[in-house]
Amino acid sequence: MTRRFTSSQLLLLAASFLITLGSFAVLPYMSVLLHERLGLGLGAVGAVLAMASLVQFGGGVVGAALARRIGLRATMLVALAVRTAGFACFVPGLGRPWLAVVALFLVSAGAALYLPANKAHLVAGRPAAERPRLLAASGSAFNAGIALGPPAAAPFVLGEPGVLFGAVAVLFALVGVAHLLLPEVPDEPSEATRSGPAGWSAGAVPFAYTILAVYVFMFFQHYLALYAIPRTSAGYYGVVLMGYALLLVVVQPLLADWTSKLPYARALRWGFGTLALGLATIATGGHWGIAAGAVLICLAEAVLFLRNDLAALERSPDPPATVFARQRLAAGLGASAAALLGGPLYATAERTTTASHFWLLAAAQAVTLPLLLALALGSRRPPPKPTPYPEASAPRR
Give the tens place of pLDDT for each residue, 230-257: 888 878 888 888 889 889 999 999 999 9
Which stretches within the chain are classed as H helix?
7-24, 30-32, 42-58, 60-70, 72-93, 97-123, 131-153, 161-178, 204-231, 234-261, 264-282, 286-315, 320-352, 356-380
Cα–chain center distance at 268: 17
Structure confidence at residue 393 (pLDDT) = 40
204 within 8 A of 376, measured Cβ to Cβ: no
Q: Which residue from 288, 79, 284 is spatially nearest to 173, judged by alpha carbons?
A: 79
Domains of the chain with CATH codes: 7-186 (1.20.1250.20), 196-379 (1.20.1250.20)
Q: What is the pTM of this model?
A: 0.82
Structure confidence at residue 158 (pLDDT) = 64
Give pLDDT < 70 ranges for the chain: 1-3, 32, 42, 157-158, 188-202, 379-397
What phi, psi does 198 have (nearest 5°)?
A: -80, 170
Q: Which residue from 303, 322, 299, 298 is spatially nearest to 312, judged by alpha carbons?
A: 322
CA distance 172 to 365: 40
Percent of the chain at pLDDT exceeding 70: 89
Cα–chain center distance at 73: 21
- Tell me which H or E stretch contains 281: helix 264-282
Structure confidence at residue 217 (pLDDT) = 93
The full length of the chain comes to 397
Structure confidence at residue 397 (pLDDT) = 37
What is the sign, positive or negative, of the torsion defined by CA atoms of 52, 54, 60, 62? negative
Structure confidence at residue 379 (pLDDT) = 59
Structure confidence at residue 318 (pLDDT) = 86
73 within 8 A of 182, measured Cβ to Cβ: yes
Q: Which residue from 276, 248, 272, 277 is spatially nearest to 262, judged by alpha carbons?
A: 272
Structure confidence at residue 383 (pLDDT) = 45
Count the Cβ atoms, other than its own, within 10 Å of residue 77: 20
CA distance 292 to 176: 40
253 within 8 A of 285, measured Cβ to Cβ: no
- The mean of the pLDDT values for the chain is 84
Structure confidence at residue 114 (pLDDT) = 92
